[in-house]
Amino acid sequence: MHPSEKPMVPRHGLRIDLILRELPLGLIGLGGAALAVRVGAEPVAALPLAFLVSVRVRLHRI
């Protein structure tokens, strides 16, 4: 490693929890993404939205 490069380390005091939601919401998210891709939407736009519907993201300060 060069002296100018700094290693990536997690920030102290921040915790990110990714928790799967109940099965119906996960299926709704995947179905919505599949429908969006089928009608011509870009996967780059549809997949992050499906991820946010099917996964609960929680940020905590420690």
In a domain, 52, yes or no: yes
In a domain, 36, yes or no: yes
Residue 26 within any structural domain of the chain: yes
Q: What percent of the chain has pLDDT over 90?
A: 2
The pLDDT tens digits for 29-55 are 888 888 888 898 888 888 888 888 888
Distance in angstroms (rounded) separating the CA atoms of residues 26 and 18: 13
**38: CB partners within 8 A, 6+ apart:** none
Task: Decide if 46 is inside a domain.
Answer: yes
Q: In terms of pTM, does the model score above 0.75?
A: no
Domain that holds residue 33: 14-61
On whether residue 3 sits in a domain, the answer given is: no
**Is 1 part of a structural domain of the chain?**
no
Count of structural domains, the chain: 1
